[in-house]
């Protein structure tokens, strides 16, 4: 089922199957109110600026995506990492990292928004405005 949390950042939708979160969709206006589940709790904590234990998540599709998740979770709240630096950590190319980030089905929970270009914001599957709001939120600034 698709549920949503309404916040000052915008609507954050998520798919919860009763066992794990399968997808997060930013800006989803057509979802049900939040469920009584770990994702709703995590999102509430995130919006309060708290680092919370992750709810159960759908497994990554590939071993590279598993390594990417671990690298993204290592980027501290309120900080960023460049595509190039992340690629070096993973022994990959910035282009491959960017493509894998674009395919991330769990933004926020797997914080792909913390990866930026060497000379600017860089891309984000839900657009630059969402990425900017998330980074400002994590920096403690109003989005």
Query: What are the residue numbers of the active site?
Result: 112
Q: What is the pLDDT of residue 123?
A: 93
Q: What is the pLDDT of residue 143?
A: 47
Residue 90 has pLDDT above 70, yes or no: yes
pLDDT tens for 8-61 read: 999 999 999 999 999 999 998 787 888 889 999 999 999 999 989 999 999 999
CATH class of 63-138: mainly alpha
Q: What is the pLDDT of residue 142?
A: 63
pLDDT tens for 123-141 read: 999 999 999 999 999 998 7
CB atoms within 10 A of CB 43: 25
Q: Between β-strands 115-116 and 10-16, what pairing exists: parallel, antiparallel or unpaired?
A: unpaired
Domain boundaries, the chain: 2-47, 63-138
């Amino acid at each position: 089922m698709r549920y949503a949390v309404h916040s000052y950042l915008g609507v954050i939708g998520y798919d919860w199957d009763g066992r794990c979160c399968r997808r997060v969709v930013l800006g989803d206006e057509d979802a049900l109110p939040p469920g009584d589940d770990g994702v709703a709790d995590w999102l509430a904590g995130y919006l309060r600026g708290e680092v919370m234990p992750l709810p159960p998540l759908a497994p990554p599709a590939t071993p590279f995506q598993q390594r990417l998740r671990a690298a993204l979770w290592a980027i501290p709240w309120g900080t960023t990492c460049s595509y190039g630096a992340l690629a070096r950590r993973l022994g990959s190319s910035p282009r491959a990292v960017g493509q894998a980030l674009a395919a991330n089905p769990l933004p926020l929970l797997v914080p792909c928004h913390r990866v930026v270009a060497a000379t600017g914001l860089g891309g984000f599957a839900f657009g630059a405005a969402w990425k900017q709001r998330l980074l400002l939120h994590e920096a403690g600034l109003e989005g």
